[in-house]
Structure 1
């Protein structure tokens, strides 16, 4: 990392690539780049208070983390998801039978691994500190100016950062996306997610249980020990009522909704409310800027797709940039960004559409919609080739699985 003092006396830095945003996608992107020889700056304010939410890292994401030599430090904090159960609790005229998917059918130890975001972030942050080609800059990006050969970022600490490419990992309200002139399509759902963690008397046996209700999913995902995380999607007014309950009353309500499958429950830590909506960037790259994670796509917490889709952005962009450098190309060139766009667009569009349709099918009272949804789940439970296909594609689509998620190197 090069640092110099311009005439103004404010610090100026240079790097190959700036990654803006220090969530899991941003930190993993920065580590991937630095470990493949790019001088990388990770730019974001200091991490906020501990995040009580959890993330299910699907097997493809775990494989990428193994490839980056990160999994050994993350794995001890995780709980495996060996079985995934879908229960139709809509109470409607047409209901699907219960379906249980088992990772052993794919000869995998688990579909994925659930971890508290605070523990995932802490391990990634420690790895970042130890990376010699990675500089962490605790600052906001106040301005971004693109040119023919690079990008200059104005930082809140008064300095500047000159790079050849900016990676926007700065979330739904991405300043990088706005500066790059990339438009978005946004939408809202009449839903709100109540998110919290639980202790329970009965073991979860590494089962993830998703109850489909008329207001959205009610999903219990295993954590280490006799703990689970809950994402409960409700109508906003009801979500606020539940959020306001005392711990004991809320725990009893959750136990009732879960049909006591985990026994007596106790609330652990804080509870959070998230209004649900979606966002899709019309492009994931432009003007020497590339988007990953929620800067490029946002959708409801269904099927553990959010961060895993973001990790596929990370792995694909890394693959594209390493290949471009090998060919002697400018890593911020329009042709390189176009290659990233082509690689990611089908996966992002198909996942966004699938999650949107599944969520809307739960909200619909139309009999044809209920029939199609019920038939789909029935076939998924009764037709082995279809079951295996859905399980494999749920982990990561075969046509959009980058090298690092297949146990291969980038060279």
Structure 2
């Protein structure tokens, strides 16, 4: 039976295009169906949205040919400092201090603004695969010979494999009968970009407050991106403040890190929850990114988890194609699911546990947390293990793209 494409990807955010480019470079015919137009995310204006890319994720972007154009826009993460503080802003006595000089691979990762990454993906899609903007996959039907994806513009596309990269409320997953599990954190993340007085020198800070974690992540030019997790009630109250009052509330928590601060872009907020697909595959269907696992933003691992999916699925599909196998057949998809589901679930639940452990002001737990962080910090081998894990270098087996090797 004839197919329009080898792979149709529903979702044009970040993970979908990255997978599409990896597959297209290996000779497959790929279409990315993107609900949004070539949107304002690719505009020149700075809005502060940014990602902490682990070193392994940077290697993937190198492997699909994007990093040379992005490197000058990125801010290397050279150090990570994690401390806990009381609601008064008083810091704990212990903390975790990670320095990239302790590992041979170099920097721990890179901070990159959304506008630069999305623009690079958008431009690459125009010449390397079929990009279908302002359209959604609204229906799908799988059979032994392939899968038919019905689009909102009335078209139908026939493919060997349909990939859901369409977010936490994935229509692809729902139509495939894939159930989800998860829970609400009762927290909201406030996101903003700041100008700061004290040079950050490439240091990322994670401050654990009783209401939730507060990340201060370095951007180029002594700016920082903050992700502040608060209870819903507190977040609503703080989000409603004027810009000046917002800064007055934030400053006591990070003033020792940043010095004087000012807003460098708009403020955003979004509710926090955990949602995990119970399966990553179904007949002729595979899920990646938030469609497979929507996680807490602590440690900034959401996009990195998605890019691990991209690397693993690309490798499974390309190997099957080179062997002359059906890339949408169960054996190919089972290998992908076996590779990714345990790792993703373990990391998601680990972040969930850290958030619950630190999002309180219990004096006994606070003392135990201080001692635990102090103990890790005192053992160089354990500290390096944590750093390599944060850099995405401990995944086993390591997909070729994440290891810096071609497909």
Q: TM-score range by the shorter chain?
A: over 0.9
Asked if the contact 2:48–2:264 (Cα under 8 Å) also holds between the matched residues in 1, the reply is: no
The alignment covers a number of residue pairs equal to 398
**Distance (whole Å) between structure 2 residues aligned to residue 364 and residue 301 of structure 1:** 17
Does 1:330 pair with 2:326?
yes
Structure-1 residue corresponding to 2:282:
286
Comparing 267-276 and 351-360, the one that deviates more: 267-276
Secondary structure at 1:99's aligned position in 2? strand
Structure-2 residue corresponding to 1:113:
110
Structure-1 residue corresponding to 2:400:
403
Does 1:308 pair with 2:304?
yes
Comparing 253-262 and 302-311, the one that deviates more: 253-262
Structure-2 residue corresponding to 1:349:
345
Structure-2 residue corresponding to 1:362:
358
Asked if the contact 1:344–1:400 (Cα under 8 Å) also holds between the matched residues in 2, the reply is: no
Asked if the contact 2:188–2:229 (Cα under 8 Å) also holds between the matched residues in 1, the reply is: yes
Asked if the contact 1:96–1:373 (Cα under 8 Å) also holds between the matched residues in 2, the reply is: no
Secondary structure at 2:186's aligned position in 1? strand
Q: How does 1:4-15 map to 2 (within 5 A)?
A: 14-15=4-5
Secondary structure at 2:205's aligned position in 1? strand
Give 1:95 shift.
4.9
- CA offsets per residue over residues 270-312 of structure 1, 9 Å max, x none? 1111111101111111111100000000111111211000000
Give 1:234 shift.
0.9
Structure-1 residue corresponding to 2:36:
46
Give 1:49 shift.
4.0
Aligned pair in 2 of structure 1 residues 91, 271: CA closer, same or farther (>3 Å)?
A: closer
Give 1:367 shift.
5.8
TM-score of the superposed pair, with normalisation by structure 1: 0.92
Q: How does 1:207-226 map to 2 (within 5 A)?
A: 207-226=203-222
Give 1:96 shift.
5.7
Does 1:242 pair with 2:232?
no
Secondary structure at 1:314's aligned position in 2? helix
Runs (4 or more) in structure 1 with deviation over 6 Å come to: 91-94
Does 1:32 pair with 2:29?
no
Asked if the contact 2:95–2:370 (Cα under 8 Å) also holds between the matched residues in 1, the reply is: no
**Distance (whole Å) between structure 1 residues aligned to residue 225 and residue 276 of structure 2:** 27
Structure-1 residue corresponding to 2:44:
none
Asked if the contact 2:83–2:92 (Cα under 8 Å) also holds between the matched residues in 1, the reply is: no
Structure-2 residue corresponding to 1:104:
101
Asked if the contact 1:278–1:298 (Cα under 8 Å) also holds between the matched residues in 2, the reply is: yes
Asked if the contact 1:22–1:169 (Cα under 8 Å) also holds between the matched residues in 2, the reply is: yes
Give 1:134 shift.
3.4
**Distance (whole Å) between structure 2 residues aligned to residue 314 and residue 241 of structure 1:** 38
Give 1:121 shift.
0.6
- Structure 2 counterpart of 1:66, from 46, 58, 62: 62
**Distance (whole Å) between structure 1 residues aligned to residue 388 and residue 98 of structure 2:** 11
Give 1:246 shift.
1.4
Does 1:387 pair with 2:373?
no
Instruction: Give unmatched runs, 5+ long, in structure 2.
Output: 42-46
**Distance (whole Å) between structure 1 residues aligned to residue 183 and residue 372 of structure 2:** 26
Structure-2 residue corresponding to 1:128:
125
Aligned pair in 2 of structure 1 residues 95, 34: CA closer, same or farther (>3 Å)?
A: same
Does 1:19 pair with 2:13?
no
Structure-2 residue corresponding to 1:179:
175
Secondary structure at 2:117's aligned position in 1? helix
